Amino acid sequence: MSTINIVFIALLSIAMTLAILMSVRSSRATHRANDSERIVQRMLDIIQDGFIQLDKEYRIIKANDKICSLLEQTRETLLNRSVFAFIDRTKLPNLVAENRSSECKSYEFNISAPSGAISPCQIMVCPIVDRWNTSIGTLLLVNDLTRQMNHELYLRRAVAVFEHTAEGVMIMDRDGRLDLVNPAFSKITGFSQEDILGKTPQFLRYGQIWAELTTAGHWQGEIVNHRQNGEEYPEWLTISAVRASDGEIQSYIALFSDVSHLKRSEEELKRMAHYDVLTDLPNRTLLNIQLNLALERAGRRSSKLAVFALDLDGFKTVNDSLGHPAGDMLLQKVAGRLRYTVRSEDVVARMGGDEFAMIIENPPSAIHLGHLAKKIIDALAKPLDLHGNSAMVTASLGIALYPKDGEDATSLLKAADTAMYASKQAGRNTYRYHDHEMAKAAHQRMQLEQGLRKALDGQLELCYQPQVSIRTGSVIGVEALVRWNHPERGLISPVEFIPIAEETGLILPLGEWVLRQACAQAQSWSEQRLFTGTLSVNVAGPQIERGDFFDTVKQVLSDTGFNPKLLVLEITESFLLRNAKQAMAELGQLRTLGVSIAIDDFGTGYSSLAYLKYLNAQEIKIDQRFIAGLPDDKDDAAITRAIIAMGRSLGFDLIAEGVETEAQQIFLINEGCAQAQGYLYSKPITAYQFGDWLRQRRLQSYQDNSASETLRFTRRVTDRDGQDQMNIPPIDVAEHRHRSNRQSYEA
């Protein structure tokens, strides 16, 4: 081999070696570059800000995960596309000009994503220049400000709450020393922030609160705290521990509020629940509580106890005539008099309306209770000044004793009520002790009341008592009287059940039923030409007081077709006197229908000639209590004469009730009373019996008239011829009566 060949081979080997070495170096550089690229991209993806690298044409050549998420794009859709495809060009108006310098500039604006999400961002624009200061690209660092702005908003709100909340806020270190308080703290307690910083609140010295805080990290409850001026106030306090990430307590936050107003409201609500707002007396609820406690004491001590039940007489009249404000004032003054009359340890309560109750513990004796009851009645009977108006009421009072009349609150109150109603029945303005007879009567009354509700479904019936002309004996009218045909007790007098109906309000449907049935029956008789006189129907006070009685009467007359000019409504004198103003208005309306008004039981009340002048009444009924003693009783005779004389002089029609004897009838004829009703003519009878009674009277009238005509005819014939006409056949009176009877029944 030649030397040249050897050199060539050597050079070739060196060249190949160099080539191999160069190739290995280039491969290593490429791998290193790729590794560096991956590292850089990984670093960009980790950072919290969005990153975009632009070339000098503003195309995206690099982007990290954060900007992809913010723009809701993948990296592939971003690369090699203009940045202005994703960010509004108007947001970066000076981007081209700024790229000519190497200074970084910051912008804040919102970036919108395809989904519509808007993110507030801060964008740092940094130009990339070469060594000749020529722009070769741009870096954009995008900081999403959403979380930061939300946090700032949260902090602003927290500060606003801290500054403006009405609750006091205290922030304490881990040892319980105050670091910060809000303005409400100073407003509630009176301490300024400078006064208390670094000090430990009094409540943290309570071992129970501190122990619960250190273990559970929370405590809540009500405490009594002190203001700067030493005043105590109730405080609702909540304390919570603030822990570090390792669970260690760093500080405490306490919130508290002054609950004085809540305490006052609670006390007021309790008082409203147990005291009468108008009189400030204990109400029924509190009375029951106090009575049960008093009974426990009486049982332990084996002592006596009394319960008074009191009801005002005449309160409704004052309330209606002077108005509710006057009625309220009257109740307040009555409450004051009751409190003043009894002992300080005795309980006076308002049960509702015009009813009161009293608990008298350990009375000296039963006689003492009687004296006390009389003292109360006398105190309430004195006139009351109600805004310049003088008013008077009286009291009906019932007394029940423990343990004789009951051993529990319910029994004693019931017994006292029963005794109170007995005092009302005894004439009012008095008192009664409870006894077993009263309890029995009360039970019967309750049964009667319950039965009366059922009676409206078919147990009631009407009876009719005729009213006659005393001189002629002719029937001029009839009075409808309700009767209760009880399935067990038989007929019950209205004297028993009408007062109960008035008290319970059942008088309203009962009264309408009576009026409707009576008008329908009278219309039936009229259509049969059997009876065409007046129909009298009793009207109770509550029917008029309700206010729609006029409409009721008008409707009944319309439904039944009965002639209003034949209807007489009887209203008691006592009601007319008590409710003169309302009565006059109501009676005036009724008169427009053509209905007549009669004053019933005249003379039994405190009669006033003045009210007769203004009342729209046409008839006066003389009460049977004055008729019963005629003609022998001088007082009854004098009163009856006076009523008749007065009634005639004022132009009233007069009718006497309860006429039972011929002597009474003769007295009334002689004194000028033209009409009467009573057992002398007929007792109250059913509608069917009244129809028969009318037919019998008509038959008798025909018979009497026929006999009179026969006698007159015979006398006329004898007188005309002047001789005995025995040869002329006499009229057969029997046949005439037969014809008359037949005609009567046919009619």
Provide the pLDDT confidence category of residue 740 given band limits of 50, 70 and 90: very low
Cβ contacts of 576 within 8 Å, gap of 6 or more: 583, 599, 611, 615
Q: What pLDDT score does 724 carry?
A: 39
Of 355-369, 591-605, 691-705, give the range with the top mean pLDDT. 355-369
- The pLDDT tens digits for 214-272 are 888 889 988 888 888 988 889 899 999 898 888 888 889 999 999 888 888 888 888 78
| Per-residue tokens: 263 | 């305490």
| Per-residue tokens: 440 | 């029995």
Higher-confidence residue: 584 or 723? 584
Q: What pLDDT score does 727 carry?
A: 35
Helix, strand and coil percent figures for the chain, each rounded to 5: 50, 25, 25
Provide the pLDDT confidence category of residue 709 given band limits of 50, 70 and 90: low
pLDDT at residue 53 tops 80: yes
Closest by CA to 189, choosing from 238, 257, 263, is: 257
Q: What pLDDT score does 746 carry?
A: 30
| DSSP, res 730 | P
Q: List b or e across 503-536, with b for residues whose CB sees 16 or more CB atoms inside 10 angstroms.
A: eeebbbebbbebbbbbbebbbebbeeeebebbbb
Q: What pLDDT score does 490 carry?
A: 83
Provide the pLDDT confidence category of residue 731 given band limits of 50, 70 and 90: very low
pLDDT at residue 520 tops 90: yes
- Give the number of other Cβ atoms within 10 Å of residue 152's Cβ: 11
For range 56-62, the mean pLDDT: 87
- Average model confidence (pLDDT) for the chain? 81
Q: What pLDDT score does 719 carry?
A: 43
Alpha-carbon Rg for the chain, nearest whole angstrom, is 55
Residue 276: CA atoms inside 13 Å, Cβ hemisphere, count? 22
For range 275-296, the mean pLDDT: 92
- The pLDDT tens digits for 625-643 are 899 988 999 888 999 998 8
Provide the pLDDT confidence category of residue 730 given band limits of 50, 70 and 90: very low
Cβ contacts of 63 within 8 Å, gap of 6 or more: 50, 51, 52, 53, 75, 78, 79
Pairwise CA distance, residues 586 & 583, whole Å: 5
- Secondary structure (DSSP) of 316-329: HHHHHHH-HHHHHH
Cβ contacts of 248 within 8 Å, gap of 6 or more: none
What distances in angstroms separate CA 472 from CA 468, 677, 679, one per listed residue? 8, 14, 17
Provide the pLDDT confidence category of residue 42 given band limits of 50, 70 and 90: low
Q: What pLDDT score does 7 carry?
A: 41
Q: What are phi and psi of 359, to 5 degrees?
A: -110, 120
- What HEC string does 449-497 produce? HHHHHHHCCCCEEEEEEEEEECCCCCEEEEEEEEEEEECCCEEECHHHH
pLDDT at residue 164 tops 50: yes
| Per-residue tokens: 453 | 């509700």
- The pLDDT tens digits for 354-372 are 999 999 998 877 778 888 9
Q: What pLDDT score does 310 carry?
A: 95
Closest by CA to 142, choosing from 195, 73, 229, is: 73
- The pLDDT tens digits for 186-215 are 999 998 888 888 888 877 767 778 888 888
Higher-confidence residue: 670 or 577? 670
Q: What are phi and psi of 593, to 5 degrees?
A: -80, -15
- The pLDDT tens digits for 88-134 are 777 776 665 555 556 788 888 888 888 888 888 888 888 887 777 77
Q: Is the dihedral of CA 574, 497, 476, 701 positive or negative?
A: negative
The percentage of residues in the chain with a pLDDT greater than 70, rounded to a whole number, is: 82
* 8 A C-beta contact, residue 400 and residue 416: yes
Provide the pLDDT confidence category of residue 23 given band limits of 50, 70 and 90: low
Pairwise CA distance, residues 744 & 747, whole Å: 5
pLDDT at residue 11 tops 50: no
